[in-house]
Amino acid sequence: MTGSFEPKIVGILCNWCSYAGADLAGTSRLKYPANIHIVRVMCSGRVDPTFVLKAFELGADGVLVSGCRPGDCHYVDGNYKTMRRTPLLENLLSQMGVEPARFRQVWVSASQGEIFARIVEEMVKDLKEIGPYMRQGGEELA
Amino acid sequence: MPKLKLAIYWAAACGGCDVAILDLDEKILKVAEAADIVLWPIAMDYKYEDLTALPKDSIDVCLFNGAVRNSEQKELAHALRERSRVMVAFGSCACFGGIPGLANFTSREGVLERVYKTSPTTINKEGVLPQVESTVPEGTLTLPAFMNRVYTLNQVIDVDYYLPGCPPPADLIWAAVEAIVSGNLPPKGSVIAGTKSLCDTCHRVKEQKNLKGFVRPHQIIPDPEKCLLEQGLVCCGPATRDGCGHRCIKANMPCRGCFGPTGHIHDQGAKLVSALASILQATTEEEARQAAETIVDAAGTFYRFGLPDALLQRVKRREQA
C-alpha cells in the first residue's frame, strides 16, 4: 500500500484497566498514532461479537478489544468471557475473509500505558501493510 | 369476490419449497378455490412470455423461493416484482441465501473450477466451462450469466414478507395463505414465524451448561430429554427464530438455524459465537483455543442458511443504500 493510507481502528476498551492504561499513555505524553477511535465499555466481557462485525461493516479497517489481565477483572471473571469468545470469533472472521491482523484482543492493565501505545503502533503498521478492509459484492445488482 | 392471482417461482433453490406447498395436503384444494395460479413453473407449463405478457400489478401474491445467483433469476425477480402487489420471500434461500448462499465462501471462478474441473467425478480434459454465448453452426446460443455471488431476494428487489424455513412448515404456509386470502396482512417487512428464539420454546431439560469443547452429531447418541447444547452439540437454537415446530430437535438433532436470526439479532453468526463461548469453562487462553477448535467450520455452521445475509456480506439495494 501507499504511505498515504491511514487505517481506521475501533478500539473497544474496558473502563477499569485498558481505558485507564490508554489514559496513562496520554498523561505520560507517550506518542502513538491517532488512527484509533476509542470506545469505552464497562467490561471487555460486555463486548458482543456483533460490535466487532458491525465496526467492520461500517468501515473500520481494524478492531482492537482490550480488557484487564486475566485475574484482574473488576467484575472478577468478565474478561474470561472475552477470552472464551476470542478464538471462536477469530475463526469466524478468518473464514469470512477478514485478515487476522485486523482483529486483535489484548490485555492491558491500568499501569501499562506504554504497552498500549506499542500495541496501537504495531496494529497501525500491520494494517498499513495489508491495506483497507474491502467489502465485496453487489456489483452485479445494478 | 374475485379469485386471487397467485404466482410461485423458484430461483436458486432445491425445489423443496415447492414440494412444501404441496405438503399442505388437502388444504391445497382450498388454495385452488381461493386463488388462480398464474405462474408455477415446477407444476405447470409456463413460458417466459406468459409472464411478460401480464400487466403491472396483475399478480396479487408472488411466493418467490430460492436465492438469486444468475442473471436470469435476477431478471425474473424484477419482472415478478413489477407485476406483483405482494412479494413474499418464501423459504430460507430467498430470505437469507440458504444453502446455495454458502457458495459465497468462494467466487464464481472457484465454483466453476470445482464443479467443471477438479471434482472427483468430473472428466473434462479440454477444461470446457459454461459460456454466456457460444457459437454453433446453427447460430449463437446463450446461457444466463453465473454471478460472482449469491444474493438474498431482498438484496435484489423490494420484499414485503418473509416466510423462512428449509422448507417452510405447512402450518406457517397455511397461516400466510389465510392472512393473504382474508386480507388481514401484518405490517410490511414482517417475518411470518415466531418472534422468540428456539431455546425459548424448547421443552428439553436445561440444567448446567459447562463444556470443555463441542462434539459433532455423529460422535454421540444424544439424550432425547436433555438440552443438546449441554450434551456438547452445536445447536443454533439460542440465535434462531422459533416457528419451525422443533422438527430437528424432536428428531434428536441440533438446530441448524434455518429460520434465521430473531428480530433483535443483527448477525446470527456473531450471536452464536457469543452464546457458545458463554457455556465454555476454559480458564486459560490455550484451553479457550482448544475448545474453539472443536467447532469445525465455525462460519459454515453459524451461517449455514444465511451467509449472504451475514453482516460482513450483506449487500444493500441501491434504493436503500
Note the ipTM here: 0.93
Residue B321 counted as domain residue: no
- Answer whether B148 sits within 8 Å of A97, measured CB to CB: no
Look-up of cell digits 419451525: B244
Whether residues B142 and B74 fall in one domain: no
Residue B71 counted as domain residue: yes
The pLDDT of residue A142 is above 70: no
- Answer whether B280 sits within 8 Å of A84, measured CB to CB: yes
The minimum CA-CA distance between B59 and chain A, rounded to whole Å, is 24
Residue B188 counted as domain residue: no
The pLDDT of residue A10 is above 90: yes
pLDDT score of B1? 63
Q: If you average pLDDT over residues B83-93, what whole number do you get?
A: 96
Whether residues B302 and B209 fall in one domain: yes
Whether residues B152 and B202 fall in one domain: no
Q: What percent of chain B has pLDDT over 70?
A: 98
Pairs across A and B, CB distance < 8 A: 118
* Domain's final residue, options B182, B206, B226: B182
Closest CB to A49: pick one of B156, B270, B316.
B270
pLDDT score of B321? 52
Domain holding B170: CATH number?
3.40.50.700
The pLDDT of residue A3 is above 80: no
Whether residues B59 and B175 fall in one domain: yes
User: A-chain residues within 8 Å CB-CB of B277?
Assistant: 81, 84-85, 88-89
pLDDT digits (tens, 9 = 90+) for A56-70: 999 999 999 999 999
Rounded alpha-carbon distances, angstroms, from residue B218 to A126, B17, B295:
41, 27, 14
Query: A117-129 b/e with 16+ CB inside 10 Å = b?
Result: bebbeebbebbbe
Residue B315 counted as domain residue: no
Whether residues B152 and B237 fall in one domain: no
The minimum CA-CA distance between B123 and chain A, rounded to whole Å, is 30
Closest CB to A48: pick one of B74, B274, B297.
B274
Whether residues B111 and B170 fall in one domain: no
* Interface contact A134, partner B, CB < 8 A: no
Question: Is B98 in contact with B119 (CB distance < 8 Å)?
Answer: no
Closest CB to B277: pick one of A50, A52, A84.
A84
Residue B192 counted as domain residue: no
Whether residues B178 and B260 fall in one domain: no
pLDDT score of B180? 85
- Answer whether A83 sits within 8 Å of B288, measured CB to CB: yes
Retrieve residue B297's grid coordinates: 467450520
Sign of CA dihedral A101, A106, A110, A114: negative
Interface of A with B in 69-88 (CB under 8 A): 70, 80-81, 83-88
Whether residues B113 and B90 fall in one domain: no
Whether residues B209 and B140 fall in one domain: no
* Interface contact A92, partner B, CB < 8 A: yes
The minimum CA-CA distance between B78 and chain A, rounded to whole Å, is 11
Closest CB to B273: pick one of A49, A137, A138.
A49
Residue B320 counted as domain residue: no
pTM of the model: 0.92
Residue B94 counted as domain residue: yes
Sign of CA dihedral B235, B314, B159, B186: positive
Residue B243 counted as domain residue: yes
pLDDT digits (tens, 9 = 90+) for A18-47: 999 999 999 999 999 999 999 999 999 999
pLDDT score of B103? 95
The pLDDT of residue A135 is above 80: no
- Answer whether A49 sits within 8 Å of B297, measured CB to CB: no
Q: At what angle do helices A49-57 and B268-277 cross, to 10 degrees?
A: 150
Q: What percent of chain A has pLDDT over 70?
A: 96
Using alpha carbons, select from B81, B97, B130, B136 the residue that is nearest to residue B315: B97
User: A-chain residues within 8 Å CB-CB of B313?
Assistant: 96, 135, 137
The minimum CA-CA distance between B72 and chain A, rounded to whole Å, is 12
Closest CB to A56: pick one of B155, B273, B312.
B312
Closest CB to A91: pick one of B151, B284, B292.
B292
Whether residues B70 and B214 fall in one domain: no
Q: How far is B282 from A88, CA to CA, in rounded Å?
A: 12
- Answer whether B311 sits within 8 Å of A57, measured CB to CB: yes
Retrieve residue B200's grid coordinates: 425459548
Retrieve residue B37's grid coordinates: 395460479
The pLDDT of residue B63 is above 60: yes
In total, how many domains does chain B have? 3
Among chain B residues, CA nearest to A140: B147
The pLDDT of residue A5 is above 60: yes
- Answer whether B292 sits within 8 Å of A88, measured CB to CB: yes
Closest CB to A50: pick one of B156, B270, B293.
B270
Among chain B residues, CA nearest to A83: B285
Q: What percent of chain A has pLDDT over 90?
A: 91
Query: Where do the domains of chain A lie, and which CATH numbers do they carry?
Result: 9-130 (3.40.50)
Whether residues B12 and B138 fall in one domain: no
Whether residues B155 and B133 fall in one domain: no
User: What is the extent of the structural domain holding B251?
Assistant: 198-309
SS (H, E, C) chain B: CCCEEEEEEECECCCHHHHHHHCCCCHHHHHHHHEEEEECCCCCCCCHHHHHCCCCCCEEEEEEECEEEEHHHHHHHHHHHHHEEEEEEECHHHHHCCHHHHHHHCCHHHHHHHHHHHCCCCCCCCCCCCCCEEEECCEEEECCCEEEEEECHHHHCCCCEEECCCCCCHHHHHHHHHHHHHCCCCCCCCECCCCCEHHHHCCCECCCCCECCCECHHHCCCCCCECCCCCCECCCHHHCECCCCCHHHHCCCCCCCCCCCCCCCCCHHHHHHHHHHCCECCCCHHHHHHHHHCCCCHHHHHCCCCHHHCCCCCCCCCCCC
Q: If you average pLDDT over residues B228-254, what whole number do you get?
A: 96
The pLDDT of residue B319 is above 70: no
Q: What is the mean pLDDT of chain A?
A: 94
- Answer whether A141 sits within 8 Å of B155, measured CB to CB: yes
Most distant CA pair in chain B: distance in Å?
A: 71
Burial class (CB in 10 A: 0-12, 13-18, 19+), B268: buried
